[in-house]
Structure 1
Amino acid sequence: MQLIHHTVSPHQELFVYETYRLYGQNGRFRLLQFSETAVQGAMDLNRPERILFEYPQAMIHLMEHHLPEFRSAFMIGLGIGTIPRHFPANTFKIAELDEEVIRISREYFGYTADNVAAGDGRNLLAAEPPASLDFILVDAFNPAGTPRHLTSLEFFRLADSRLASKGAVILNLAGKESNDRHINAIHTTLARVFKHTAAYVLPSSGRQCNILLAGSHMPVAGRPSQMAGFREAVLEEGHCVRDPRSWRD
Structure 2
Amino acid sequence: MGKKRGKRGHSSSSSSVGAQTSPIGTYGISTGNAEIEADPFRDGAYILHVNGVPSSHIVPGEPRELEFEYMRWIAAAVEAFAPGHRLTHLGGGACSLARYFADIWDDSKNTVVEFDAKLGELVREKFDIPRAPKVKIRAGEAREETEKFLPASRDVIIRDVFAGAVTPTPLTTVEFFQTAHRSLVPGGLYVANCGDHSDLRGAKAEIAG
State the TM bucket, normalised to the shorter chain: 0.7 to 0.9
Corresponding letter in the other structure for 2:159? V
C-alpha distance in 1, partners of 2:49/2:120? 14
Aligned partner of 2:192 in structure 1 is: 171
Aligned ranges 1:215-226 → 2 under 5 Å: none
**Could you tell me which residue of structure 2 aligns to residue 54 of structure 1?**
69
Unaligned runs of 5+ residues in structure 2 are: 1-21
* 2:206 matches 1:183: no
- Structure number with the higher strand fraction is 1
Over the matched positions of the two proteins, sequence identity in percent amounts to 23
TM-score normalised by L of structure 2? 0.78
2:112 and 2:142 map into 1 onto residues whose CA distance is 8
User: 1:73 corresponds to which residue?
Assistant: 87
Partners of 2:129 and 2:36 in 1: CA distance: 15
Confirm or deny that 1:85 pairs with 2:99. Answer: yes
CA distance in 1, matches of 2:44, 2:37: 11
1:36-64, CA deviations, whole angstroms, 9 ceiling, x for partnerless residues? 22x21112246344221111111111011
TM-superposed deviation, 1:71: 2.5
How many corresponding residue pairs?
A: 181
Which residue pairs with 1:13 in the alignment? 33
Counterparts in 2 of 1:180 and 1:12: CA distance versus 1, 3 Å: farther
Q: Secondary structure of the residue that 1:15 maps to in structure 2? A: strand
Structure 1 match to 2:12: none
Residues in 2 aligned to 1:59 and 1:48: alpha-carbon distance in whole angstroms: 15
- In our comparison, the structure showing a higher alpha carbon Rg is 1
- Deviations for 1:154-205, whole angstroms, at most 9, x for unmatched residues? 10010111111100210112222x313323222222xxxxxxxxxxxxxxxx
SS at match of 2:150: coil
Contact 1:136 1:168 in 2 (8 A): yes
The alpha-carbon distance between structure 1 residues 105 and 152, as it changes in their structure 2 partners (threshold 3 A), is: same
The CA deviation at 1:104 is 1.9
Alignment-derived partner of residue 31 in structure 1: 47
Partner amino acid for 1:15?
E
* CA contact 1:27–1:44 (8 Å) conserved in 2: no
Gaps of 5+ in 1: 190-249
